[in-house]
A = this chain, B = another copy of it.
Amino acid sequence: MGTGHEIAMELRAAYLSMHRQTNAHLLKYGVTADQFVCLVILSEEDGITQQELVRRATSDPNTIRAMLVLLEKAGLVARKKHPRDGRARSVTLTVKGRELYEQIWQEIKLMQKRLSGLFSGSEVDMFIDGLKRISAGMSSTPVKQIVESSHPVSENENGEKKAVHVKR
């Protein structure tokens, strides 16, 4: 029977395969797969905050900012002041951004058809449900009782990131 380790390795393999394939397709448009995810999210709802983009893209504030700066430089998105919250930014697709998104979508659509074509109708939903369970089960809240164990590397009581020799 499949183990947790196997799930992890195959999840990794599946994601990386998809990610590379997507990047290869998008290379000629000058955007990365991750940047395109931002475009997709914005095409679904324009004017959301960076914070909200972070959440929907399963990302973090620094990464999203870096990507938005690049997308802004490419003239694909705009970051206006949020009308109601002076701290926030309201991110929108420019006309150019929406056009590029739609152009890319035509191509990516075929790849996604290939993706869903790998499953039968009933399988798809079960599979997606499994993915969602993993997202929920692995979402960032660290598991306390796991963190302190009988390893001599870190001695702190509460699982904080008090690294001994941090690399990043």
Chain B residues with CB below 8 A from A20, complex form:
138, 140
A6-B128, A15-B11, A103-B151 known; A115 and B135 CB under 8 Å? no
User: Quick check: is A153 within 8 A (CB to CB) of the other chain?
Assistant: yes
- Judge whether B37 and A4 touch: CB under 8 Å: no
How many copies, total? 2
- Judge whether B146 and A118 touch: CB under 8 Å: no
- What sequence of 0s and 1s flags, for each residue 20-61 of chain A, a beta carbon within 8 Å of any chain B beta carbon? 111011011111100001001000000000000000001100
Option from B7, B24, B124 in Cβ contact (under 8 Å) with A115: B7
A106-B106 Cα distance, complex, nearest whole Å: 46
| Number of A residues with CB within 8 Å of any CB on chain B | 81
- Judge whether B135 and A10 touch: CB under 8 Å: yes
User: Quick check: is A84 within 8 A (CB to CB) of the other chain?
Assistant: no
- The closest CB in chain B to the CB of A147 belongs to B25
Minimal beta-carbon separation of A156 from chain B (angstroms): 9
* Given A10-B135, A14-B15, A25-B147, 7 new contacts (CB under 8 A): A2-B116, A4-B116, A11-B11, A14-B135, A17-B58, A24-B161, A32-B168
